[in-house]
Structure 1
Amino acid sequence: MYTHFNHSYEKTVITLHPGEYYVSSEDIYIATVLGSCVAVVLYDSQKKIAGMNHYMLPGDRQDDAEKSARYGINAMELLINGMMKAGADRRRLRAKVFGGGNVLDTESNVGFNNVRFATTFLQEEMIPIDGRDTEGVTARKIFCHPPSGQVYLKRLHQEILNQVRKRESHHLENIRKKDFYGGFTLFEK
């Protein structure tokens, strides 16, 4: 996660990377850049709270081996729980889905699978999807304004798409290595 003040927007911008999420009611922007990855934005209009995640692969409800938010199943649970912890009512949540572009040179159709996961998950959880901009062959940069729930989308030019493609390929390679972050050590008193 990267935080900076954007003088053009006159707001703080929280930029998410793959495997991250953020929830807020502050007058800021939550932003991310997407290629084949997907970002889901959730919003509670009564509490004026919004959150965004950014995941790389769908994951599986049956697979307990990997709990990383780089996987959609975990990213969605973390986002919903984060929204409720911030005071949102789960029954009022509305969603917008972005990304899932066909930007990687692979046969696996990662982007399509990511979008399918998000839409299926949201339907199963009975969270209405109010908007989406998904698939295609473009990279996107999105900005979410939590108090309003508005999302601003910018399609990125080919040279930026090439950078996104390179970065996502690198992230996918690291995920396949499985020991990306290593283990945890418990420190007691």
Structure 2
Amino acid sequence: MNGNTERQFATNVYYDRTFDCDAAKILPGEFYYTGQDMLIVTVLGSCVAACIRDRVTGLGGMNHFMLPDGGDPASPVSASMRYGTFAMEVLINELLKAGARRENLEAKVFGGGAVLRGFTAMNVGERNAAFVMNYLKTEQIRVVAEDLNDIYPRKVYFFPRTGKVLVKKLMQTQNDTVAKRELDYASRLKVEPVAGEIDLF
């Protein structure tokens, strides 16, 4: 494992029969962007996904990240916050490099559910949700839809070309796989360094 876990480009691309289009499935620590008419899908528990697109061109993508446990969540320079910042910057920079214009970017954000009980003193899902909203506000990227917090995992389907998002809340009994995946991801975050700085342009 290396520090690149935080910005891994999703490689699980398949044909989705339900929606009759190509789809990319992203896991914790991954992101995906496209200019094609396709679907990006993920399942979230305590993690957060930001769906960001250029509303003019339809170029868009999604990330899936978690702030690792520890650090002062109020500190803008805490190691914990650097993970979230890095995940956001990677996606935004890739969109800009692919031709998106900063002034046309809009976001829809999801996740931050209280599904990892006892994971931290302050619920990690709430921290993730607060972080992504504050980050987008600071970067002046308009949030046009959100479904954050609550107690349920969510399956999110994002169609970047149109901006449409479908969210399915999963019942607690379907929660084990999501919780295990996120706990594994969280344990990797604790031992891996955050990669170098990224400049937004």
TM bin, normalised by shorter chain, reads: 0.7 to 0.9
TM-score by length of 1: 0.86
CA contact (8 A) 1:72 1:117 kept: yes
- Partner of residue 43, structure 1: 53
Instruction: Report the alpha carbon displacement of residue 162 of structure 1 after superposing the two structures with TM.
Output: 2.3
Unaligned runs of 5+ in 1: 184-189
Is the counterpart of residue 73 in structure 1 residue 104 in structure 2? Answer: no
Partner of 1:32: 42
The runs of at least 4 aligned residues of structure 1 exceeding 3 Å deviation read 58-61, 63-67
CA distance in 1 between counterparts of 2:187 and 2:174 reads 20
Alignment of 1:1-189 (within 5 A): 1=10, 2-57=12-67, 62=77, 71-106=83-118, 107-176=121-190, 178-179=191-192
How many residues align? The count is 178
Change (3 A) 1:157 1:65: closer
Render the CA deviation track for 1:32-87: whole Å, top value 9, x for unaligned.
100000000111111111111100117875357997xxx21101101110111111
Residues of 2 paired with 1:134 and 1:169: CA distance? 19
Alpha-carbon distance in structure 1 between the residues aligned to 2:189 and 2:56: 38
> Is the partner of 1:72 in helix, strand or coil?
helix
User: Is the partner of 2:140 in helix, strand or coil?
Assistant: coil
Equivalent position SS for 2:19 = coil
TM-score calculated relative to the size of structure 2: 0.81
**Secondary structure of the residue that 2:135 maps to in structure 1?**
helix
Secondary structure of the 2:175 match is helix
Helix, strand or coil for the counterpart of 1:113? helix
